[in-house]
């Protein structure tokens, strides 16, 4: 017997509808691509998103059509998300940091019909456009005064101007596809993760929980994590849902620019990858500054070194929540909110409601949750992918409905999960596993280290041994023995690297993670 409650489909337009109705005057602040700070609010964002929806419909964009975006975090990009999704089209966020060849493949695989691009990406658009025949129109996310020279499309402001916004909006089946995000293609071609309105809606409710991002209407949220990176960790939905002030940094993510926005906009919460927090910390130390309103940082996308985490907590009293997830998980998986001071601060945390996880050995057998035994990490939940876009015949799930994340982890008796490595990065030495991540976290705590990476290199006797690669802070010098002595006592003796290689710069991938594929190619790791 069905319940007798209202039929209220879980669709994403409801978040912005709620924000404009009940928090309409709450500010949305952007450091614009053109330069100046631009102030808007949720009522304006809602009106303009609907104007964009009307323009899209008049251009022939309809249900399930893919509309690509190539932009940084701005109010116009936020309007684009809701304007696209509100009519049942699919918002396909493109990562401008990917190689042009990968972007070409992604656009063609998705069969994007229209592209909304920041003006700074005009050269990239010019390179892609002749190779992407499905793209019928490019609209630049700017005004007429800043339209790139030779642009082959209109500016956004003129394109949506004069429209009432009165058009079909929302009223969609909740299983309708809403967003499309491709993995970075570190193994094979990039793969498309196709989110539904329902999955992103439920993921948003999970993200707002106290033991997750802990958002409220009293917050001022600076979203440093890009809107083109795994759904911006859900912030583009969760922040309007609670009516918090939204601060969008545009293209300038250096320490000085981030700190300025934090102080002028009273930021209480910010989210980004560890390399951003490392850059901000170096700026604060150099200029002898301290944040005055920032209370919480969410760090994800890569392992957060313990030294970095403790620096924010001990120097400034700022809570750092270490998070983990994947594009295939929408992306939130776990958040480290310690129950007491004995909890490991670098662990990735516990699952919030809506996510389940398990560990298995190489033969698929369950391994104990004792905090010591490594296993392949598997997940399932309401916002976890089951197939990739246009590869629907290939299930991603095992017989129990779990998705193999490709990570190796431990889980302790209290449910605290800690990533020890990617399965492809784990070092197998003498039949035993060595965690490259734990060595990296220990090494980057050295006062002269800016970044550290560890790869396995072939060894005649042991199969593989760890090589430590270090990028020193500007102006610093050190020897290999300095780092080996520093690691002694911090990690198991047999984990101590056989060698240390200093490099001018450790390469980072398109999402800000260390690119170990490049390191292996350059330094003989296979």
Is 31 in a helix, a strand, or coil? strand
List, for residues 361-379, the tens digit of each pLDDT value: 988 999 999 999 989 999 9
What is the mean predicted confidence (pLDDT) over 256-272?
A: 98
Backbone angles phi and psi of 290, in degrees to 5: -145, 140
**Residues classed as catalytic:** 183, 328, 428, 433
Give the pLDDT band (50/70/90) at residue 186: low
What is the mean predicted confidence (pLDDT) over 258-275?
A: 96
What was the pLDDT predicted at 230?
87
Give the pLDDT band (50/70/90) at residue 345: low
- The structure tokens listed for 331 are 């992306």
What is the mean predicted confidence (pLDDT) over 22-51?
A: 98
CA distances from 227 to 95, 201, 211 (A): 9, 17, 23
Mean pLDDT of the chain: 92
Q: Give Dmax (Cα) for the chain.
A: 73
What was the pLDDT predicted at 9?
96
**Exposed e or buried b per residue across 65-77, where buried means at least 16 C-beta atoms within 10 angstroms of its C-beta:** bbbbbbbbbbbbb
Paired strand residues for 115: 68, 138
Question: Which is more confident, 461 or 297?
Answer: 297
DSSP type of residue 71: -
What is the mean predicted confidence (pLDDT) over 66-81?
A: 98
- DSSP letter for each residue of 215-243: --TT-EEEE-S-TTSGGGGGHHHHHHHHT
What is the mean predicted confidence (pLDDT) over 68-76?
A: 98
What was the pLDDT predicted at 343?
58
Q: Taking each helix axis from N to C terminus, what angle separates 13-22 and 235-242, rounded to the nearest 10 degrees?
A: 30
Backbone angles phi and psi of 447, in degrees to 5: -60, -15
Give the pLDDT band (50/70/90) at residue 462: confident
Cα–Cα distance measured from residue 106 to residue 344, given in angstroms and rounded to the nearest whole number: 39
Q: Domains for the chain: give ranges and CATH numbers.
A: 11-252 (3.40.50.12780), 425-523 (3.30.300.30)
Give the pLDDT band (50/70/90) at residue 294: very high
Residue 217 clears pLDDT 90, i.e. is over it:
yes
Tokens 């330069």, located at residue: 35
Tokens 């790139």, located at residue: 148
Distance of CA 402 to the CA centre of its chain: 22
What was the pLDDT predicted at 243?
98
Residues 255, 261, 263, 268, Cα dihedral to 10°: -100
What is the mean predicted confidence (pLDDT) over 449-467?
A: 87
DSSP type of residue 188: S
List, for residues 394-415, the tens digit of each pLDDT value: 999 999 999 999 999 999 999 9
């Amino acid at each position: 017997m069905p319940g007798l409650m209202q039929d209220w489909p879980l669709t994403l337009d409801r978040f912005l509808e709620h924000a404009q109705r009940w928090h309409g005057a709450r500010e949305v602040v952007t450091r614009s691509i053109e330069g100046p700070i631009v102030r808007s609010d949720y009522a304006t964002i809602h009106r303009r998103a609907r104007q964009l929806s009307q323009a899209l419909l008049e251009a022939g964009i309809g249900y399930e059509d893919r509309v690509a975006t190539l932009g940084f975090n701005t109010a116009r990009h936020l309007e684009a998300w809701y304007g696209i999704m509100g009519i049942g089209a699919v918002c396909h966020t493109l990562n401008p940091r990917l190689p042009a060849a990968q972007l070409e493949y992604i656009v063609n695989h998705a069969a994007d019909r229209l592209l909304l691009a920041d003006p700074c990406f005009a050269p990239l658009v010019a390179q892609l456009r002749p190779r992407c025949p499905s793209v019928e129109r490019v609209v630049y996310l700017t005004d007429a005064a800043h339209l790139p020279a030779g642009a082959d499309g209109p500016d956004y402001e003129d394109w949506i101007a004069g429209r009432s916004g009165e058009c079909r909006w929302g009223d969609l089946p909740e299983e309708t596809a809403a967003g499309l995000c491709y993995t970075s293609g570190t193994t094979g071609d990039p793969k498309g993760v196709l989110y539904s309105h329902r999955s992103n809606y439920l993921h948003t409710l999970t993200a707002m929980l106290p033991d997750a991002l802990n958002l409220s209407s009293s917050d001022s949220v600076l979203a440093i994590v890009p809107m083109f990176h795994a759904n911006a960790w859900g912030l583009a939905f969760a922040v309007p849902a609670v009516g918090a002030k939204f601060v969008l940094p545009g293209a300038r993510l250096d320490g000085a620019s981030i700190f300025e926005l934090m102080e002028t906009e009273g930021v209480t919460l910010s989210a980004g990858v560890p390399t951003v927090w490392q850059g901000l910390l170096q700026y604060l130390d150099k200029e002898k500054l301290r944040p005055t309103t920032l209370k919480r940082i969410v760090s994800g996308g890569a392992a957060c070194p313990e030294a970095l985490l403790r620096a924010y907590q001990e120097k400034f009293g700022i809570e750092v929540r270490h998070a983990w997830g994947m594009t295939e998980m929408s992306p939130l998986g776990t958040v480290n909110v310690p129950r007491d001071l004995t909890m490991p601060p670098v662990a990735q945390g516990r699952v919030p409601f809506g996510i389940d996880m398990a560990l298995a050995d190489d033969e698929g057998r369950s391994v104990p949750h004792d905090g010591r035994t490594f296993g392949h990490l598997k997940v399932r939940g309401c916002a976890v992918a089951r197939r990739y876009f246009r590869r629907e015949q290939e299930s991603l799930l095992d017989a129990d409905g779990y998705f193999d994340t490709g990570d190796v982890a431990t889980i302790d008796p209290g449910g605290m999960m800690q990533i020890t490595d990617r399965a492809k990065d784990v070092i197998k030495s003498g039949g035993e596993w060595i965690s490259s991540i734990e060595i990296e976290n220990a090494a980057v705590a050295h006062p002269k280290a800016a970044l550290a990476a560890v790869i396995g290199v072939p060894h005649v006797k042991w199969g593989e041994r760890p090589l430590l690669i270090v990028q020193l802070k500007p102006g610093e010098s050190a020897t290999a023995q300095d780092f080996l002595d520093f690691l002694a006592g911090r990690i198991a003796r047999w984990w101590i690297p056989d060698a240390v290689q200093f490099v001018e710069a450790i390469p980072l991938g398109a999402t800000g993670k260390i690119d170990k594929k490049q390191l292996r190619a350059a330094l003989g790791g296979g």
